[in-house]
Amino acid sequence: MARVGICEDDADVRRVLTEGLRLADHDVVVSRNGREAMAAFAAPGSVDVLIVDIGLPDADGRDLCQALRTSGQHAPVLFLTALDGVHDRISGFHAGGDDYVAKPFAIGEILVRVDALLRRTRPAPATPTGLVLDPERFSVRTGGGEARLTPTEYRILAALAAAPGAVVRRRAVVAAGWPDGAMVSENTLDSYIRRVRAKLETAGSPVELVTVRGVGFVLR
Amino acid sequence: MTRPWERLFGRSLRARVAWSTAAVTAVVMVAMVGVVGLIISGLARHQIDAALGSRVEATAESLRVDAGGDLALAPSQADDVDDRVWVFDAEGGLVAGPPRAGLSAPVRSLSGAATEKTLVRDGRRYLARPVHVEGTQDTSAVLVASESVEPYERTRDVALISLLALGVVVVAGTAALSAWTVGRTLRPVHRMTALAADWSERDLETRFDLTEGSDEFTELGNTLDSLLDRVATALRDEQRLTAELAHELRTPLTAIRGEAELGRIATPTDERYGRIIGLVDRLSASITTLLALARHRTGSTLRADPAEVMADLTTALPPHGAEVVVDIPRGRYLVAAPPELVERAVGPVLDNALRHASRRVLVAAVESDGTIAVTVSDDGPGVDPDHRETIFDAGTRFPESEDGGDGAGLGLALARRVAVAAGGDVRVTSTAAPTTFEIRFPRW
């Protein structure tokens, strides 16, 4: 038995999922959109596994996942989506997802995958950075203020904030920030990093975005 | 890669311009050589005639009638007189002539000329002029002079040959110069079209943004930019449309399928639920195929490298137990189907193999009879030979599989539909040890 968080906007799918998970003796916490999910699941340890629909009305499920990771929520995430192209799947993994099920799914498959995710041991999450990402408005809040970001800046920052203190490689930052397969030059990435750094400073961020020459970037 | 002779004889603009320049120059050069030849010949004739004329004139002046009434050259001037002039009296009798030369046929034929006449025979030009002997009433004579035309012709030939040689050099030079100029002028066009083609396939955001200057290249850049804009908009619209369609169609199907599944759990004896699930799965397979086809029609590339598709597919794999070994060299095989379709045909077969493999899944490719087959082999328990075909029916599941058959039983049906839509097929080529599926595509 585990606590399973669901974020799905369609009431019928939500009910079917809830019922199916309850039949398998799981506790289910339900949210209907990105905002509710941030409120319900941001706290570390609030759920054991998360099922997140990618096509939410107010945010992209992948951006929500990154925001949750930044807040310190490191429960495994299973994405549900109506899109099943390879690039959609890859972008889900880059956004910190752990598995992927395409609609229409079999409930049995969801249960098997949830069990598999619960069995997997995860590395101990690092101390959160104190940044709060808002997947709906693409903004970052700190104790001192708030800054608006573009979707790409948001995804870059989220990739770094999900692993505070660790150096995130340039390639991983590109994979998180841009659609799969996009060609991004070094200069473009650097100029984005400069903009994110400036916005963090504007918002009075407690952490600093540091460039590790030739390797990548780190928030500390 | 264009080879030099292909560039020379190909149908490129550069080759065409070079060849037409060469042709026009050649015609002009030939005409010029002809005209120059005519002028030189005319001049030579004029010169010879002038020389012959003055010779005849000089001889005519020294003509006298001697005491006997006969025609003779003035003795005082006889030494100075050009002795290459034949002098005939009115009756045609030879009065004087070149000492050693006999009377040749042309000279003889001209001896009775009543008017001035010229004649060319055997490389010599002859001039015959009847003259009135000064100081007499009616005594007349015919003077004939001749000159070899050979030196003049030789000079003319040398001039014409030199001109022809110069002409060949000019033709080759002009053609080479125009090819070089056109090539150089078109180089930016080549670069721009190659970049635009590349961007339209891989990077829909980059533009030329040529704001400065108002030459043809700026115009071309702006045109390509607006085309790229349209391609990008069309692709984004199409992606948004298919994404919305997918979402709108699949979400209710998910709920229907879920309700039926829950119903089946509650009332396992009611077969209706199983039938509903089967119908949902069929509908779902149709939606997937239709969306994949709709996407590929607006997609930009129509060929795929199975090696690259496999690289993408393996990156996107969820955690699994078996090892996937892809043994397809990059660039060796190209199939005539868009990468998305190859993905959707191979993906479910790979998923299926991973579900049943115990340790290893091997993916390879072979080429035969104009088709390329991607083979997916696993070391799992194998396929019951009786089910060789039925496993491709939508909704078929085999509960004996390791994880209880968690899939919706759609994958292989979908794989086959997509492969058939792309002009290929999916088959089981070996039912056990290893179990091998073959996904066949037309070769590019």
**ipTM for the whole complex:** 0.73
- Res. A13 pLDDT band, cuts 50 70 90: very high
A109/B347 Cβ within 8 A? no
- Res. B298 pLDDT band, cuts 50 70 90: low
For the sheet with A99-102, list strands across it.
A27-31, A3-7, A49-53, A77-81, A99-102
What pLDDT, on the 0 to 100 scale, is given for residue B218?
86
- Residue among B407, B364, B357 at smallest CA distance from B382: B357
- Whether chain A has a CB inside 8 Å of the CB on B347: the answer is yes
Q: Write the residue in A12, A87, A104 that is nearest to B250 by C-beta.
A: A104
Phi and psi at residue A168, to the nearest 5°? -100, 125
Phi and psi at residue A113, to the nearest 5°? -70, -40
B343/A85 Cβ within 8 A? yes
Residue B65 tokens, joined: 């009638």
Per-range mean pLDDT, top range of A30-34, A144-148, B283-287: A30-34
What pLDDT, on the 0 to 100 scale, is given for residue B303?
79
B408/A109 Cβ within 8 A? yes
Residue B211 tokens, joined: 């704001």
Please report, rounded to a whole number, the percentage of residues in chain A having pLDDT higher than 90: 28
What pLDDT, on the 0 to 100 scale, is given for residue B403?
44
- Residue A181 backbone class (left: φ over 0; alpha: ψ -120 to 50; beta: rest): left
Tell how strand A77-81 and strand A49-53 pair up. Answer: parallel
pLDDT digits (tens, 9 = 90+) for A114-133: 998 988 756 555 566 778 88
Q: Is residue B1 pLDDT above 80, yes or no?
A: no
Q: Cα separation of A31 and A8, whole Å?
A: 7
Q: Which helix (H) or strand (E) holds A216?
A: strand A216-219
For the sheet with A146-148, list strands across it.
A132-134, A139-141, A146-148
Q: Is residue A166 pLDDT above 90, yes or no?
A: no
What pLDDT, on the 0 to 100 scale, is given for residue B29?
92
A112/B406 Cβ within 8 A? yes
- Res. B140 pLDDT band, cuts 50 70 90: confident
The DSSP output letter for B138 is S
**C-alpha count within 13 angstroms, C-beta hemisphere, residue A60:** 15
Q: Write the residue in B202, B203, B255 that is nearest to A13 by C-beta.
A: B255
pTM of whole model > 0.90? no
- Whether chain B has a CB inside 8 Å of the CB on A116: the answer is yes
Q: Write the residue in B246, B254, B315 that is nearest to A105 by C-beta.
A: B254
B265/A23 Cβ within 8 A? yes
pLDDT digits (tens, 9 = 90+) for B303-314: 789 998 898 888
Contact A110, A78 (CB under 8 A): yes
- Whether chain B has a CB inside 8 Å of the CB on A87: the answer is yes
Q: Cα separation of B71 and B86, whole Å?
A: 13
Per-range mean pLDDT, top range of A2-16, B79-93, B277-291, B420-434: A2-16
- Residue among B232, B109, B407 at smallest CA distance from A107: B407
Q: Is residue B406 pLDDT above 50, yes or no?
A: no
Contact B41, B156 (CB under 8 A): yes
How buried is residue A113: exposed, middle or buried, by Cβ count under 10 Å (0-12/13-18/19+)?
buried
Q: Is residue B172 pLDDT above 90, yes or no?
A: yes
Give the residue from B406, B410, B414 with the most A CB atoms within 10 Å of its CB, the best one to mutate. Answer: B406
pLDDT digits (tens, 9 = 90+) for B337-386: 888 788 888 988 998 898 888 889 999 999 888 899 999 999 988 888 88
Q: Which helix (H) or strand (E) holds A148?
A: strand A146-148
- Res. A89 pLDDT band, cuts 50 70 90: confident
- Residue among B68, B67, B63, B69 at smallest CA distance from B86: B63
- Residue among B434, B417, B435 at smallest CA distance from B426: B417
- Residue among B334, B336, B428 at smallest CA distance from B376: B428
User: Which residues between 196 and 235 in chain B have a beta carbon less than 8 angstroms from any beta carbon of chain A?
Assistant: 202-203
pLDDT digits (tens, 9 = 90+) for A179-198: 776 777 888 888 899 999 99
List chain B residues with CB under 8 Å of A181: 202
